[in-house]
Structure 1
Amino acid sequence: MMSFSRALRTKQQNTKKDLKSFLRFVGPGLMVAVGYMDPGNWATDIEGGSRFGYTLLSVILLSNLFAMFLQHLCIKLGIATGRDLAQSCRAYYSKPVNFVLWILCEIAITACDLAEVIGSAIALNLLFGIPLTWGIAITALDVLLILMLQSKGFRTLEIIIGGLIGIILMCFGYEIILSSPDIREVVNGFVPTPELYRNPSMLYIGIGILGATVMPHNLYLHSHVVMHKPYEKTPAGKRQAIKLLTWDSNLSLVLAFVINASILIVAAANFHKNGYHNVAEIQDAYKLLTPLLGSEWASIIFGVALLASGLNSTLTGTLAGQIVMEGFMHIRLKPWLRRLITRLIAIVPAFIIAVVYGDSGTNELLILSQVILSMQLSFAVIPLVIFTSKKSIMGNFANSLGKKSIAVLVAVIILLLNVILLYQTLF
């Protein structure tokens, strides 16, 4: 009996020790997961759900699995080499190649920032009646918020981001309960259908969802922030760090998956089911939820979740921009200046479109930004796959044959989908 009690106490102590070790590594996954639930995801998920019902849930699932695998490779690269993806590119590629990769990554960051600008402006308009153009201008003030929070350190950012993700989850939990989706149809939606490849409109939205889910700049960001966690620089220490950081990443991306799937399910259960097959705008979704669900809170909670999403995405944008600028070109700017430049590049086109075309124009711009992100993705994925597969760079942490095969397959699928998208767009 005594030996059993002693064994039980030992097991409990080991469990507490393992949990304490894991908690030290929690955070980078949440920072990265933010990019997987930004306002750009909302536009593609809402349009996908209203037009095609639950069919594109399979794309969200596949995109999330891709994201989990690619973020794991980012963790391996950062921990095993002590370099992030941008620094690795600078170390192993020529200056012209680095310059092109940097420009492409800056385009991706600007496209992401464009989604944040529009999403936040729409949320302010829906909740407080602030005109869209004024809302877009107000988003420039987030530079002050970024400065204040970044001075507090990474841990404060991680806690705030975790809190905002919690708000979004609770909001959509409420929306899902009210929507009462057909569980059988939801489950069937996770099974891929050949129609996805045959229907150009469905493929366009599907690739938009892929671009909104697997963010190019997240690969650079994640490979950098993991290096700030305390871990032993021994092979065993690195192995443990990779394991625990991968758990952190996967659990955070499960949250992102639940949120993305919830947005599409709410759209399918309320709009597609009731014959509203052309709800492509966040504003329309906001206005329709209350009458369809019979609750005045349905629209308000939807708007609160959108605002939390926009604020969350804002927090990691500057950091990613600084990392790629320093990593590729060794250019260092003050955070406020970097944020101001990026945000102004995003604000100008958003402001012009809002003035000339109104709500519909900004929503088209929102979806286009996600397609642009998708088309930039291969230029981040391919170097990541190459670096993590080379023993000369990774040592004993290089991808195994099986992992290398999966990495190449993921890279080829992403590249192929973007070639199809480019062909359809041009011809």
Structure 2
Amino acid sequence: MNTGKESLADVHGSVNTENKTGWRKILAFLGPAYLVSVGYMDPGNWATDIAGGSAFGYKLIWVLLASNLIALLLQSLSARLGIVRGLDLAQASKNAYPRVVNLFLYILAQLAIIACDLAEIIGMAIGLNLLFDLPLIWGVLLTITDTVLMLFLMNKGMRKLEVFIISLISVVGLSFLVEMFIVQPDVVEVAKGFIPTNLSGSSLYIAIGIIGATVMPHNLYLHSSLVQTRQIVRTDEGIKTAIRFNFFDTVIALNLAFLVNAAILILAASAFYRNGYFEVAEIQDAYKLLENIFGKTAPVLFAIALIAAGQSSTITGTLAGQIIMEGHVNLRMEPWLRRLLTRALAIVPAVFTILYFGEDGLGNLLILSQVVLSLQLGFAIIPLIHFTSDRQKMGSFSIGKWTKLGAWASALIIVGLNAKLVYEEISGWINESSGASLVWIYALVIPIAFGIGALLLYVFFRPLLFKHRDDPIFIPHGIASVIKDLDAIQYNHIGITIDFSKNDTNTIRHGIMQGGKKALYTLIHVVETAGAQYYGGEVMDHETQSDFDNIEQYVVAMQKLGYNAQAKVGFGTPAKSITKIVEGEKIEFVVMGSHGHKAIKDLIFGTTVNKVRHMVDVPVLVVKS
């Protein structure tokens, strides 16, 4: 039974992994890490990879490899948390920290997702501009339409969403595979790039950017939730199997992401560094230089891959937004509305930058989005390590001392380097500002930075010094409660929603199955005309009069069959009107027919059944039409 408390409740446990062996078993688990991996290939990564390859050739490939290994470790911990405790990272944080701290954690995580979304918007807009010569301002505004695509894919189920994302990743990978044949990199020099070298000055700065852009905070929230879409047997062996196969999934997906990032850096090194272009940091400049050096094929593939990367990252960002909202503050919102709000909040700074600073300002805005992401990273990594190290909560599945040591070392490196990046950015703003701008930096920016730093210290020390009372959760070896009484429940007052379609008979039939001839049945219909929206029960247009007559016919028909029936008509918004009638009439059980709308129709007609289910305090039976 779905209580609505599971992470991504609509798709929780929706992919069956049982009764499968061999490759079928592996394929059943493959998927979550691919959705996560797109965050490692977003336009923010492109910017740092291009800058590193053009400035230092192949010398920073080892930095990419190191950051990928760190990401692999942290993502595997995220998957372990979701599998063992049945909680995503946001839900676990809600149980471990006070409410006010969770509110701040939510705000920071939401800002990170908006910043990430900003990078996707810029990448998509640049890709459309390069491919179709569409002005950047129009490309930015056009990205808001992906809300409809997101809603469509979510309605199709988790497996189809994963297939779509993997298809986009394949487009990115194939594009760069062809690019490699075009630019013909120096294989020997590429191999030397895996040997660590000293980092100083600008090479250190770009290396920090590469690491900061690689491990995305929202990916840790996302992975801990996506692994729960797989049905597993809650035994020691079942959990071990799930951890093992999800680790395979993570290794494959993140190594593919590493190959794509390495390909971008190698492309920049082969095309620009080797030809004397040492300061290519803008994606648009990279496109133009590719065309000048290699003709039209290479830049077209580059633009297609950029669009695919931006679109796939957008979808996973939406899922992460749902997870942190429901996990940290227990707030549930329609996916399309949350997507629309997040995208709108990200579009505003992009449009503002284009209008006031010109199209060249988007590159700086892209860098700023990575700085915002770096601020959030520690708030995801530190709790994750605490939670997976807790032997009381994780049991025998808590991480060992060497894994723990590696995780804390990774956290120290990432948080330290990102803190350095933030420090250097703020220092740069101070050096470049004067007058009122300088006052704002000292009065607002620096205090906020210190406040965030203090919160980070609290997040680190709280689990060590205090034990916050956890809500009851599932842990391995739990014992099912004893069932003592299974007497049938007799409902005396049942509400049945009517829409005067061919499905009404089926809905009424299911309703009378719950109460027989002893119960009172209230047939509910809502008039949704424009007049009903504004004037409520005072309206009596033709449609309203017809609805009254029709529902009365149903009542008479049921009474002739020996059932005690009455009619109630609401006006205006269906979900609110149905809820008002249920509460006013003290109805004990509600039967509703599902209209069967999907994707765009859900956006237009709404999802009344789902809304009513959350608004009433009585059981709701949904009869599929």
Q: TM-score, normalised by structure 1?
A: 0.93
Residue in 1 that maps onto 2:211? 210
1:165 maps to amino acid: I
The alpha-carbon distance between structure 1 residues 359 and 280, as it changes in their structure 2 partners (threshold 3 A), is farther
Deviation string, structure 1 residues 239-284 (Cα, Å, up to 9, x no partner): 1001001101110111100000100110011111111112111111
Name the CA distance, whole Å, in 1 between partners of 2:240 and 2:358. 52
| Structure 1 residue 415, shift from structure 2 partner | 1.8
Across the aligned residues of Structure 1 and Structure 2, the Cα RMSD in angstroms comes to 1.2
| Structure 1 residue 115, shift from structure 2 partner | 0.4
Name the CA distance, whole Å, in 2 between partners of 1:191 and 1:370. 27
Deviation string, structure 1 residues 46-70 (Cα, Å, up to 9, x no partner): 1111122122212211111111100
Name the CA distance, whole Å, in 1 between partners of 2:140 and 2:389. 43
| Structure 1 residue 234, shift from structure 2 partner | 0.6
| Structure 1 residue 167, shift from structure 2 partner | 1.0
Q: Contact (CA 8 Å) 2:63, 2:211: kept in 1 or not?
A: yes
| Structure 1 residue 107, shift from structure 2 partner | 1.4
Residue in 2 that maps onto 1:241? 242
Residue in 2 that maps onto 1:224? 225
| Structure 1 residue 226, shift from structure 2 partner | 0.3
Residue in 1 that maps onto 2:197? 193
Unaligned runs of 5+ in 1: 1-15
Deviation string, structure 1 residues 33-54 (Cα, Å, up to 9, x no partner): 0111011111111111112212
Are residue 270 (structure 1) and residue 285 (structure 2) matched?
no
The structure with more strand, counted as a fraction of residues: 2
| Structure 1 residue 418, shift from structure 2 partner | 2.1
Q: Contact (CA 8 Å) 1:41, 1:212: kept in 2 or not?
A: yes
Name the CA distance, whole Å, in 2 between partners of 1:93 and 1:338. 25
The alpha-carbon distance between structure 1 residues 205 and 372, as it changes in their structure 2 partners (threshold 3 A), is farther
Residue in 2 that maps onto 1:415? 415
Name the CA distance, whole Å, in 1 between partners of 2:279 and 2:76. 37
Q: Contact (CA 8 Å) 1:157, 1:315: kept in 2 or not?
A: no
| Structure 1 residue 19, shift from structure 2 partner | 1.1
Unaligned runs of 5+ in 2: 1-19, 428-625
Deviation string, structure 1 residues 303-352 (Cα, Å, up to 9, x no partner): 11111111111111111001000000000110011011111111011111
Which of 219-228 and 278-287 deviates more? 278-287
Q: Contact (CA 8 Å) 2:209, 2:421: kept in 1 or not?
A: no
Identify which of structures 1 and 2 has the higher relative contact order when contacts are C-alpha pairs closer than 8 Å and 6+ apart.
Answer: 1
| Structure 1 residue 357, shift from structure 2 partner | 2.4
Deviation string, structure 1 residues 194-240 (Cα, Å, up to 9, x no partner): 2x2x21x3233222222221110000000001011011111110010
Residue in 2 that maps onto 1:12? none
Name the CA distance, whole Å, in 1 between partners of 2:419 and 2:172. 34
Residue in 2 that maps onto 1:296? 296
Are residue 115 (structure 1) and residue 119 (structure 2) matched?
yes
Secondary structure of the 2:275 match is coil
Which of 360-369 and 330-339 deviates more? 360-369
Q: Contact (CA 8 Å) 2:212, 2:418: kept in 1 or not?
A: no
| Structure 1 residue 192, shift from structure 2 partner | 2.2
Q: Contact (CA 8 Å) 1:49, 1:264: kept in 2 or not?
A: yes
Residue in 1 that maps onto 2:56? 52
| Structure 1 residue 301, shift from structure 2 partner | 0.9
Name the CA distance, whole Å, in 1 between partners of 2:388 and 2:296. 51
Q: TM-score, normalised by structure 2?
A: 0.64
Residue in 2 that maps onto 1:319? 319
| Structure 1 residue 288, shift from structure 2 partner | 1.1
Name the CA distance, whole Å, in 1 between partners of 2:191 and 2:368. 29
Q: Contact (CA 8 Å) 2:118, 2:350: kept in 1 or not?
A: yes
Residue in 2 that maps onto 1:7? none
Which of 147, 150, 155 is the matching residue for 2:151? Answer: 147
| Structure 1 residue 292, shift from structure 2 partner | 1.1
Are residue 261 (structure 1) and residue 249 (structure 2) matched?
no
Which of 310-319 and 252-261 deviates more? 310-319
Residue in 1 that maps onto 2:74? 70
Task: List aligned pairs for 1:367-386, cutoff 5 A.
Answer: 367-386=367-386
Are residue 166 (structure 1) and residue 170 (structure 2) matched?
yes
Q: Contact (CA 8 Å) 1:350, 1:362: kept in 2 or not?
A: yes
Residue in 2 that maps onto 1:11? none
